[in-house]
Structure 1
C-alpha cells in the first residue's frame, strides 16, 4: 500500500498537483481501510431480515452478552472509519463533519440495500447505518489536527 501511495504521489507531483503526497496516501489508505469491511458485510450470512426501528437492535445488543455487543457495535463503527479519518485530510470539503456524516450515511444505506436486494442472509438495519455514520464522524474528529486547510476566498490580488 505504501508503494502504491508513493507512486501515485509521484505521478500527481509530475502533474502539478498542489498536495500530491497528502492526497495520494489518503486515497490509498481510505480505500484499503474500507474495502475489507465492505467485503465482510457483503458476504452471505445466515439470518436475513430488515430492522427499520431506530435503536431497537442496539437495545437488544445491550441486554445480550458483552462480547457480541462489543463486536457488533465496534465493527459497525469501523466500517467507514478509514474513510471518515482520511477524507478530511484529503479534501477541505469534508472538514465539515455533517458532510462526512451524510456521505457515510448514504454509503451505509447503499450497503444495507445491497444486503437486502442481493438476499445475502444478513439483517439490513437502520442501527447499522447510524453506527457506520457515527464511526466516520468519530474518526474524522480524531484526525482533526491534520485536516486539509479550507481554500481561502478573495485573498489574492484584486
Structure 2
C-alpha cells in the first residue's frame, strides 16, 4: 500500500524571497522600457541643474530610481535598531515608514509641478464628477491612481488608526483635496478637478486592500520579548 503525503507549504522566507525577486525583475523591466526618456534628463540631474531635471517628469522619476538604494539602506538601519530594542514587526514598521515617504513625495512633486502658464493662466476648476475621466486617458488615470497608492499601502501598516477601508478612503480623499486646492491657489496652470480626487482616493483604497494582511492592529510598539503576566492562582 502506498501512502500519499501532501507536500509541506513553502516557508514564509522562501515566499518572501520569490516575491522580492519578482518585484526587482518587474522594476528592471519597467526601467528598461523607459530608459531612453530617463537618460535624456541624466546630464541635467548629474550637474544639479534645476531646469531639465527637477522640473521634468523624467528627471523626478530618474532621481526616484537613484534614491532606491539609499531608501533600502534606511529601512535596514531602522529595522536593525528596532530589532535591537526588541520591537515586534521591526521590518514591517520600518518598511512602512520609508515606503510611505519614498512612494508619495515624488508623485506629489510631479502633481505640483507648474505648467507653462503658471502664475498667468486663469485657475480652472472642474466640479462635475466623471466628466474629466474621458480626457485623462489610460496614462493619466494610471498616474492618478499611483499618487497616493503608497499612502494607502503603508499607512495602515504603520498606524493602527488607519487600518480600515473607510479611513484610508478619507485619508486619500483629504490629501487629494489639499493638493487640488494648492494647485488652484498657487495658479500652477493645472485643472482642479473632482475626478482627480476620486481617482486618487480609489488608488489609495486599492493599494490598502493589497496590504490588508499586514495592517497594524496595535497602537504601541511592544517589545518582542515582553514578559507575559503570571496567571492568577486558583481559589
TM-score, normalisation: structure 1: 0.83
Deviations 1:10-39 (A, max 9, x none): 333445544322111111011111111111
Provide the rounded CA distance (Å) in 1 between the counterparts of 2:188 and 2:86.
Answer: 45
Provide the rounded CA distance (Å) in 2 between the counterparts of 1:37 and 1:28.
Answer: 15
Which residue of the other structure, out of 114, 121, 128, is the alignment partner of 1:44?
A: 114
Structure with larger RCO (C-alpha < 8 A, sep 6+): 1
Equivalent in the alignment of 1:64:
none
Deviations 1:52-85 (A, max 9, x none): 1111112x42xxxxxx510111111110001111
Instruction: Please list every run of 5 or more consecutive structure 1 residues that lacks an aligned counterpart in the other structure.
Output: 62-67
Asked if residue 108 in structure 1 is aligned to residue 183 in structure 2, the reply is no
Equivalent in the alignment of 1:65:
none
Which residue of the other structure, out of 128, 140, 165, is the alignment partner of 1:97?
A: 165
Equivalent in the alignment of 1:86:
154
SS at match of 1:56: coil
Equivalent in the alignment of 1:130:
198
Rg larger for: 2
Asked if residue 34 in structure 1 is aligned to residue 107 in structure 2, the reply is no
Deviations 1:68-108 (A, max 9, x none): 51011111111000111111222232220100011111110
Equivalent in the alignment of 2:91:
21
Equivalent in the alignment of 2:137:
69
> Mean alpha-carbon deviation: is it higher for 8-17 or for 44-53?
8-17
> Mean alpha-carbon deviation: is it higher for 91-100 or for 132-141?
91-100
Q: RMSD of the TM alignment (CA)? A: 2.2
TM-score, normalisation: structure 2: 0.57
Deviations 1:106-155 (A, max 9, x none): 1100111111111111111111011100000001111222222x249xxx
**Number of equivalences:** 147
Instruction: Please list every run of 5 or more consecutive structure 2 residues that lacks an aligned counterpart in the other structure.
Output: 1-70, 118-122, 220-228
Equivalent in the alignment of 1:118:
186
